[in-house]
């Protein structure tokens, strides 16, 4: 969001340092002034309208100014207490830093200054509605103080899903900042039950990500309202990438783009294949139980104690320890869709990975389905940005550099 200025200098061709001169001064044309565009008329408007009632607690103070700029915005409640907030980057509105209070009167004072120095002040009063109780369910998969992998998207989940006609309004209330700055885009899965935020390439190691999903009280077309504001600030750790090839039945593990381990694996057998695509570690459990009897019945289902389990999909695909398939690992696929590792290898890997680390699996009989896990990276950038409900800046529409792992420089 930096604005740059270009400076120009003129130099004579051939290095001639003489100043230009007319041979016949009398014939020199008289200089004429360049026409100057008339100044833009000063226009200034504020929303909401004065005396407006029953507004949502997500209300922003709209600021429309032509031929000038907003100088200040002040919002106070009926007791005169100031509300914190800030202008959007495009200065189209002023956004309170937290939801407004329900059933409360507010007064906004907006000052704008024209290009010629004319100062104008507008004041509007409004009141918010009461809490409806008919809220959507939402969740933010990013937690304060946690460290995540370089492929960790910001993930928002909604139940029920956000209707298509509401997604642009909801997306305008989703704020992400990164330090160091890295651009990104929100993208929705077709059902509207999930929205992801990521950049054209993996996050840089050490990046700080701050998120605010400012959704409390936002009205939706299905008669529901946003349930609450959610905030989190997290950090991105060291780059850690896993790659699995069904052809070789091996996993390659990369740290900071250097190959550090290679493990034999067994993937899903043909009747229950593993998903090919770029998946993300979503959760880690050192000890758990896989129980599919209720889902598959007593004949096909099973109940098994599992160590070093790392979830990859909502459908139940994991990386995990599988001592029963050690002889098959690197040779044949025998799992129900998971990535099987020998116990020592699974233990080592579990101790290294973070939620948000990517694993790319290729060459299996099934492709990863959109929304089956955090599938934000299982699309090209051009495909991904089509899921945005708002226009994508032209600076972000070009294809990015690949996040593929370079040729290995070291081996285990």
* Active-site annotation holder among 13, 25, 287, 320: 320
3-class DSSP state of 386: helix
Name 130's Cβ contacts closer than 8 Å, sequence gap at least 6: 102, 103
| Neighbour tally for 305: CB within 10 Å | 8
188: Cα separation from own chain's centroid: 10
Please give the backbone phi and psi of residue 167, each rounded to the nearest 5 degrees, phi first: -65, -35
Name which of 390, 386, 385, 384 is nearest 168 in CA terms.
Answer: 390
**Would the CA dihedral through 161, 312, 308, 272 be positive or negative?**
positive
User: What are the residue ranges of helices labelled H in 165-265?
Assistant: 167-171
Please count the other Cβ atoms lying within 10 Å of the Cβ belonging to residue 59: 23
Give the other-Cβ count within 10 Å of 410's Cβ.
9
CB 387 within 8 A of CB 377: no
346 with 307: CB under 8 angstroms?
Answer: yes
Rounded to 5°, the CA angle 238-242-248 comes to 155
13 labelled catalytic: no
- Which residue's entry shows tokens 């992801």? 196
* Residue entry with tokens 């701050």: 210
Contact yes or no for 44/62 (Cβ under 8 A): no
Q: In which region does residue 206 sit, left (phi positive, over 0), alpha (psi from -120 to 50) or beta (all else)?
A: left
Write down how long the chain is: 412
Phi, psi of 366 (to 5 degrees): -135, 140
Q: Which of 25, 287, 338, 403 is catalytic?
A: 338
**Residues in Cβ contact with 351 at an 8 Å cutoff, skipping those fewer than 6 apart:** none
Residue among 208, 210, 174 nearest 194 (CA): 174
Q: Is 320 a catalytic residue?
A: yes
Catalytic residue numbers, as ranges:
320, 338
């Amino acid at each position: 969001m930096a604005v740059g200025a270009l400076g120009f200098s003129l130099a004579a061709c051939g290095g001639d340092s003489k100043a230009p001169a007319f041979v016949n001064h009398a014939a020199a044309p008289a200089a004429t002034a360049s026409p100057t565009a008339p100044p833009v008329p000063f226009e200034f408007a504020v929303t909401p309208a004065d005396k407006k009632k029953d507004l949502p607690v997500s209300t922003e103070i709209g600021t429309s100014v032509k031929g000038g700029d907003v100088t200040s915005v002040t919002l106070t409640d009926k007791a005169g207490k100031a509300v914190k907030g800030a202008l959007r980057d495009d200065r189209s509105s002023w956004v309170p830093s937290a939801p407004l209070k329900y059933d409360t009167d507010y007064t906004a004072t907006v000052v704008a200054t024209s290009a010629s120095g004319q100062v104008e002040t507008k004041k509007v009063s409004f009141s918010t509605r009461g809490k409806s109780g008919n809220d959507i369910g939402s969740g933010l998969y990013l937690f304060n103080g946690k460290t995540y992998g370089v492929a960790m998207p910001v993930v928002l989940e909604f139940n029920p899903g956000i209707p298509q006609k509401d997604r642009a309004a909801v997306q305008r209330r989703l704020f992400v900042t990164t330090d160091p700055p890295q651009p990104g885009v929100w993208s929705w899965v077709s059902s509207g039950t999930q929205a992801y935020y990521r950049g054209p390439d993996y996050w840089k190691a050490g990046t700080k990500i701050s998120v605010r999903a400012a959704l409390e009280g936002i009205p939706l077309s299905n008669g529901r309202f946003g349930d609450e504001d959610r905030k989190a600030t997290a950090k991105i750790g060291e780059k850690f990438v896993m790659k699995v090839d069904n052809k070789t039945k091996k996993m390659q593990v990369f740290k900071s783009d250097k190959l550090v381990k290679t493990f034999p694996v067994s993937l899903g057998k043909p009747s229950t294949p593993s998903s090919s695509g770029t998946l993300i570690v979503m959760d880690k459990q050192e000890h758990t139980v896989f129980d599919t009897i209720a889902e598959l019945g007593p004949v096909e289902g099973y109940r098994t104690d599992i160590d070093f389990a790392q979830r990859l999909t909502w459908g139940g695909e994991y990386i995990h320890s599988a001592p029963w398939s050690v002889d098959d690992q690197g040779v044949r696929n025998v799992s129900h869709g998971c990535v099987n590792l020998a116990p020592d290898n699974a233990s080592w890997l579990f101790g290294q990975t973070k939620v948000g680390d990517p694993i790319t699996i290729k060459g299996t009989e099934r492709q990863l389905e959109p929304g089956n896990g955090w599938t934000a990276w299982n699309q090209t950038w051009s495909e991904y940005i089509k899921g945005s409900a708002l226009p994508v800046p032209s600076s972000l529409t070009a294809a990015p550099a690949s996040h593929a792992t370079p040729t290995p420089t070291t081996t285990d």
